[in-house]
Structure 1
């Protein structure tokens, strides 16, 4: 057993003149050296000197306790912190055994703990709660043998008042003294509940307590409930606390608790998160400025958890909506800190997980807003638990949990007296139109806001949630290609085809129909019938038909082109990129390297942007920081459990002076290989299913295409990293990625139809625009611009809030492409470069 450095101590600490000290000095002189030499793995009961004490009778152990307390108080603070804590360790252990002390002796112990109310100036509420709580438990045993004396009762009242309004262990002391006084004297007074007023929640709770009617029966239950919220220090309520919360709720009335609780939840949702700037000045004269973020005090965050735990079994649709909104807020990322309030957010997720299918639906909605990998995994576990209860798969439970909000084919109509409101969900955007008779109104009538406030709130909530749910489910479908899930037609018909919301996603998509005779047909549902790529009718699926999301890698290039022509001809806009989806096939270099691909290597990415994109696509990644972790590379990984594979994208820190933020996280990473593993062993790329390989490479291409510094028009002019200037130029104006190639195909069709068509044409990797001052070359990958004749770089930062994106009135058969819109916007600007008034641009022309 490794030994600690021998700690010196002054034997005089065991000499305070009391009989116990004189008697027990030899015992403690033998015990303390063993305590000081004990390492972390050695138990107290393994020490011979402590075993000898434990083996004695109750009276003997009691005298040892008195001697230990006296010795602890004689240890000078500067003499040895470790000596004090070693003695306190033994004292705490002995206080858990049976003792036989008188009330006067217990009062001596309390005084030794710093609770001598005869000297009130020396008493502080910040006393060490152990062994105070253990000693109170010993005193409580005295009440079973007879009434407590007045001196002890006075002490208990003083201790109760001292700890009123405290949290944590001090709160436990307060509750224990209150309980003991009630048992000993019948002093069943109303609980004293005090909240920290450092935030709006604390102030609101304080006002609520002050307004309670002390003579009303529910007041004691309310105070008891609020008091228990201060005990919500764990990750979830204990069985005892759960029982107490439910009993208090029943005593008050569930409806009243729900109504008041929703008021406090709304306060938390609306409570602003304030940034505070701090500047620290070093002795050298230099300064460091940093930010802190204020939301809830630590003690009131605990109270808020208790509130959520209480409301968990009371949830209705409105309350679930609030819990969802609060969870999203709590996991908002704060620079230098992480999630705003992870503990409170986890309480919201727990509450949602305990509310069946409506709760699962809410979990699915909030998951799309959360970036923390561990929280994503927690939500997945909650969904898996609910699916196990119902005997279905997690994918099926998510299907079942999607609400339709009363929509039929994306439309809901509500009548309010003489007014009609129509909620329409079209292409992911939920809008409400108001009519009076046949006259359209710009907004909800003022009269209804007074006469139907609750109904209008419900309509507004349905509008918001429908739009969020549509986006969540669209992204879920977009990530599901790799699962190659086959859905039986009866299930598909119920939860997709005829669903008021999911039908808007399912019907414009192409599906592969697996027939019972093992034949397959690819079809889309349009004009009230299933059709193939040529518009020919396809037999309606039978109950034993299974449907799978179609992917272009599953078929020939000719059929893919046929589907694209059909979508374009019939102007079918797909909610996600499917027929025009990029395909990534294995290349000869990848066949030669066998187990890894360098296709996406040697790029420089903005790390935080890369991290956000990776989390959105379900990848796991930990930010790399400028501190010693024992390695200088990391992987972003994507679990593929259906295929028993894990995809890995390797990245490394970009070491550069000062290129990290205030928390030590690197600003940039460089990319390396992509590989697949099974049981931590590399898998040859030819053995990876083609669809899986294509989707993984598409994700990685997305990361590079969006997060690369080559996409930042200001990166070079702002300094960037000088050593990577060549990379920026080669990426900004080099070869096109697969995404950019798809963009080029779209532009070849679009440009002739737009007004820029008369002065623009596509040449190679550029859209060339003839202005009045210059000829401009806009790169189809990055959107960056060169000016002829000498290819001078022109920096134009797009206004992403601009309405003039060029593609507004032009049909696109797939979801909008941000870079495509930027290219069109720049082309529209540059064709009339003689009308430009922006000084920053004019100086470059």
Structure 2
């Protein structure tokens, strides 16, 4: 078959480039260079000259590198070019980023550019360059450095951790006591790069900077962005579980001399710094150390922050790996996770499955016993209750409760969600969490905190509905949670929840999938998130809801409804907790309620909403919790997992069991009312 020659596009390309170069601002320079290369060398040189004017050495270097590439490489780079520095490239551009990461000349530029940026912030800190708030880098430099960072992160370059340890503080912390930053734009751009291609070292560096930055608004913004970074890191299983040892011994202890004293950094559930003299622990930082070893004290305090940031990152990455069903070699896991000086105490409190023979998995809790003999190449994965029967789940929950082992995230008590007959009927969508009224601003914040993306809804054109989205299983699956604007209530915004739908990636696009085709772990973990959104933000959990109308009808129905999976898990925990309480003889579980016998009344606390009904007439008791003073009895109640609603239920139980000692007039008036 004869191949026809390609048409000559040099003349229209030359004309287009000429028109673009006449503009005051040239947008998408990569694309411009790609078009200029289709014209002739003179046009390409003119484009390079124009794009290199007044942009600084970093951008000028980038332009020169791109101009020297072949046509195909320039065209490939033009796919990642963007002028909007406030949003990350869509996931569909991952292949284009891989192309950039395979272009040797651009990879070399990325290292030079990021190194030059770190050198500049070092010079600002040293006073060699005058400090001006938010002026360390130009807008165009921010875009170029963000793209350089993405290429280096995608390649997981070994020189990146040390460089980011210089660059991130350099752009985030002023060299003066001022509450400003050298470049807020580059700080956020680097975090957006981490959202696209995260590494554990960068996440730790961001967390460390977040704890030190003095600008009032930056920590809150970083907290929001970090949620997306951590969700993305959990999906990048090839790098997610990598931790540096930082000089700690195998026992998780690091010791440093400071004159006659010794600093001791110990990693247990978290990292702590203490001081000793002649082997005796001291209550506080010794005055001579504070005076003579201030630099060491600062270094060790920073180390504690960094280790704690690493532990948070590791826990999030492990939990997020459930949908990937991540598997590790036993030898590596034993040395780099279970035996790692910082990770070991976290890892040992989780249940793991080891493939001791082909297809035969043995579940172990390292904290409770020895590890089995298995070859180094045997597979290891996190245990999930979805994969085993109720008796096994019950046994693990009993063991954790008896040994008072608090897991770093909810695992043994984790809720599981199976496809229901109703969902088999609807095939492509679930109504399981539809028709709930929620406090919209709370739910929007929680969506972002859990790594979901969502636009705002509200009473404006095209603002009545949206679908919150999250990708799972290393980007292969997408879940969508539909919700609509509902109304205002006492100055608060309400939304109504709707369907849940799933899609699978195929041929570079999302294809809607039937619920039956969704992998069980992906389905369960996605529905668990949505159960959390509804359970935490529903107006049914608002103890002082007083609005009338449809909202009140929903509140009365949902506030005492049948238990969801999350509430059922709470009930299972209470079955183990209540017998150990000082008020055990006054408490019992009855279906979806914790029944508490006081001296004035008997109370029924709903295990989903924590709302209270009083016997014998079933009247409602409003108890608004003091979030700063949640009484948990004697302060020694062991909770096998962190759950605010569980803590609230227990605090109400202790309050009502001693109802004759209640001093709050509004509560007493309700209890004693005829």
Query: TM-score over 0.5 for the alignment?
Result: yes
> CA-atom RMSD, angstroms?
4.8
* Cα separation, 1, equivalents of 2:126 and 2:195: 18
Name the CA shift for 1:415/1:344 in 2 (closer, same or farther; >3 Å). closer
Asked if 1:824 is matched to 2:650, the reply is yes
- Hey, what does 1:627 align to over in structure 2? 460
* Cα separation, 1, equivalents of 2:585 and 2:299: 50
How far does residue 460 in structure 1 lie from its aligned partner after superposition?
Answer: 0.7
- Hey, what does 2:521 align to over in structure 1? 691
- Hey, what does 2:165 align to over in structure 1? 320
- Hey, what does 2:334 align to over in structure 1? 493
* Cα separation, 1, equivalents of 2:466 and 2:431: 16
Name the CA shift for 1:824/1:262 in 2 (closer, same or farther; >3 Å). farther
- Hey, what does 2:189 align to over in structure 1? 346
How far does residue 770 in structure 1 lie from its aligned partner after superposition?
Answer: 2.5
* Cα separation, 1, equivalents of 2:511 and 2:113: 51
Alignment of 1:378-457 (within 5 A): 394-401=236-243, 404=246, 406=248, 408-427=250-269, 429-437=270-278, 439-457=280-298
Deviations 1:370-415 (A, max 9, x none): 46679947995xx89xxxxxxxx93222322555562644433333
- Hey, what does 1:750 align to over in structure 2? 577
* Cα separation, 2, equivalents of 1:601 and 1:772: 40
Assess if the C-alpha contact under 8 Å between 1:423 and 1:433 holds in 2: yes
SS in 1 for 2:311: helix
Asked if 1:640 is matched to 2:483, the reply is no
Name the CA shift for 1:375/1:609 in 2 (closer, same or farther; >3 Å). closer
How far does residue 789 in structure 1 lie from its aligned partner after superposition?
Answer: 2.9
Asked if 1:589 is matched to 2:422, the reply is yes
- Hey, what does 1:482 align to over in structure 2? 323
- Hey, what does 2:502 align to over in structure 1? 676
* Cα separation, 1, equivalents of 2:25 and 2:326: 57
- Hey, what does 1:700 align to over in structure 2? 530
Name the CA shift for 1:697/1:658 in 2 (closer, same or farther; >3 Å). same
In structure 1, runs of 5+ residues without a counterpart are 1-41, 47-53, 55-88, 97-127, 131-171, 176-232, 269-295, 330-339, 385-392, 531-538, 661-666
- Hey, what does 1:770 align to over in structure 2? 597
Task: Pick from 545, 566, 569 the counterpart of residue 402 of structure 2.
Answer: 569
Assess if the C-alpha contact under 8 Å between 1:594 and 1:684 holds in 2: yes
Task: Pick from 552, 559, 564 the counterpart of residue 725 of structure 1.
Answer: 552
Name the CA shift for 1:643/1:305 in 2 (closer, same or farther; >3 Å). closer
Asked if 1:549 is matched to 2:382, the reply is yes
SS in 2 for 1:844: helix
How far does residue 625 in structure 1 lie from its aligned partner after superposition?
Answer: 2.9
Assess if the C-alpha contact under 8 Å between 2:171 and 2:184 holds in 1: no
Alignment of 1:258-407 (within 5 A): 259-260=126-127, 320=165, 323=168, 341-342=184-185, 344-346=187-189, 358-359=201-202, 361-362=204-205, 370=222, 376=228, 394-401=236-243, 404=246, 406=248
- Hey, what does 1:23 align to over in structure 2? none
How far does residue 725 in structure 1 lie from its aligned partner after superposition?
Answer: 0.7
With a CA cutoff of 8 Å and minimum separation of 6, indicate the structure with the bigger relative contact order: 2
SS in 2 for 1:481: coil
Name the CA shift for 1:309/1:726 in 2 (closer, same or farther; >3 Å). same
TM-score with structure 1 setting the length: 0.57
Name the CA shift for 1:656/1:235 in 2 (closer, same or farther; >3 Å). closer
SS in 2 for 1:837: coil
Deviations 1:37-92 (A, max 9, x none): xxxxx99979xxxxxxx9xxxxxxxxxxxxxxxxxxxxxxxxxxxxxxxxxx99x9
Assess if the C-alpha contact under 8 Å between 1:353 and 1:359 holds in 2: no
SS in 2 for 1:620: coil
Assess if the C-alpha contact under 8 Å between 1:552 and 1:578 holds in 2: yes
Deviations 1:436-485 (A, max 9, x none): 33544332112111111111011111112222221222122112111101
Q: Give the count of matched residue pairs.
A: 557
In structure 2, runs of 5+ residues without a counterpart are 1-11, 27-52, 57-82, 87-105, 153-158, 175-182, 211-219
* Cα separation, 2, equivalents of 1:351 and 1:682: 28
* Cα separation, 1, equivalents of 2:377 and 2:306: 34
Name the CA shift for 1:577/1:454 in 2 (closer, same or farther; >3 Å). same
